[in-house]
Amino acid sequence: MAKEFDVCVIGSGPGGYVAAIRASQLGFNTAIVEKRHLGGVCLNIGCIPTKALLRSAEVFESIEDAGDYGIKVDDYEADFGGIIDRSRNVANKMSKGVQFLMKANKIEVFEGKGVFESKDQLKVVDENDETQEQITADRFIVATGARPRELPNIEIDGENVIDSEIAMQLEEQPEKLVVIGAGAIGVEFAYFYNTIGTDVTIVELEDSLVPVEDKDVGKELGKIYKKKGMDVRTGSTVEKVEDDGDGVKVTIKTGDDEEVVEADVVLSAVGVTGNVEGIGLDEIGVEYERGAIQIDKETYQTSVEGIYAIGDVAGGPWLAHKASHEAIVCVEKLAGEDPIPVNYNNIPGCTYCEPQIASVGYTEEQAKEEGYDVKVGKFPFSASGKATGLGHEEGFVKVVFDEKYGEWLGCHMIGSHVTELIAEAVVARDLETTGHEIISAVHPHPTMSEAVMEAVAEAYGEGVHLGN
């Protein structure tokens, strides 16, 4: 006999578990279905454990540079197994936190894969596709997330070519690693492995690293990574990966030239695609295209009444905080409330390599393409007293304003821990704050956050610290 609910959420990542909690808070009898681990990719094999890895790399780098701070450290080394274990412990702790939240909010959890039998009914199957439970619900929210995308000519086999999940749990540290793709995942793992001693080659199709970011940011990161000793290949492709017994031979093409690079393993980090297969979407008529369920972005309803989709499975940007916000708006809409819609042009992006990258809004190039006349200001951290004291002078803050009306069009940062600074620009843009209001707001000194105000001042010709 099927169990009945008001709302059933399929997937328990940052979109799914937030949707379930908010639904319960609003009085819905709520269930959640998860085939693997509560918390989804982000908490278990994504953003949280990778940040733990990156923190270990950052600490190791600080010890390595201790002499620059007048501190002598002898006989240190990276314990690769210990680093991996710490990362897994962090992930497990966070997953247990989600388990607690499910109990605290009286949400019934079903372990297994959810497969639609009709728009009103879902079966929960185990790994052998045997039905364990039947669920009926007035509304279903699909939050099944995404998985790494594969290149047609480069199969992820788990041995010669690995994805990010395997990369964060390798048993042995590779001596040589080739990373395909210089988006957030690619540059984060490149930083981690390079810092602890792996010889890293990055291959990126576009002409700069992190190609979705402002071009100045990508160029800056490329310079820094080359200085760190990485082999950075932009405007390049991996043509094939061949097993040579002891490792792999990777054929890299740049223009008309080809070169073979030897490595222990290749990390494929060329983006993600939504988990739309095998959950019965075709059977009930839910429309999707290229791995993304088609939705009404005001209500998140799919092409089938009563079926909703949020997060990565509903398309980019593929960010945990975007999924969580969509979850809240979606559920509050279901409850008849009038939530503030998600502003998709004001979702910050963060990349946690070192130096970190953070951005929101238009790049300079995008703003010009949209027809804006722009004011651009840039403030380098080399002119920041706090950054200099910290020993992290690399990078800058760049701001883009509309010259006619003063709208803050975009903000782009690269530097130490700048992911902690971007929220100022997000809130200011939401509040339609002008550049002069940012300049007149007193920023504490000495802080990294001053660089935001300084960059805005430069855009308006009022900067005092660059000698212009």
Closest C-alpha to 52, from 81, 86, 80, 79: 86
Evaluate whether 130 touches 120 at the Cβ level (below 8 Å).
Answer: no
- Residue 371 tokens read as 């027809």
Identify whether 355 is preceded by a cis peptide bond (ω within 30 of 0). Answer: yes
- Spatial separation of the C-alpha atoms in residues 255 and 136, rounded to whole Å: 56
Identify which of 202, 205, 211, 265 has the alpha carbon closest to the alpha carbon of residue 230: 202
3-state helix, strand and coil shares in percent for the chain, rounded to the nearest 5: 35, 30, 40
Catalytic positions: 445
- Pairwise CA distance, residues 286 & 308, whole Å: 10
Q: What residues contact residue 284 under an 8 Å CB cut-off, 6+ apart?
A: 116, 118, 119, 304, 307
Token representation of residue 380: 């380098």
Buried-exposed string 296-306: b where 16+ CB fall within 10 A, e elsewhere: eeeebbbbbee
Query: How many angstroms from the chain centroid is the CA of residue 104?
Result: 28
- Contact, 361 vs 374, CB < 8 A? no
User: Do β-strands 176-180 and 161-162 pair in parallel, antiparallel, or remain unpaired?
Assistant: unpaired
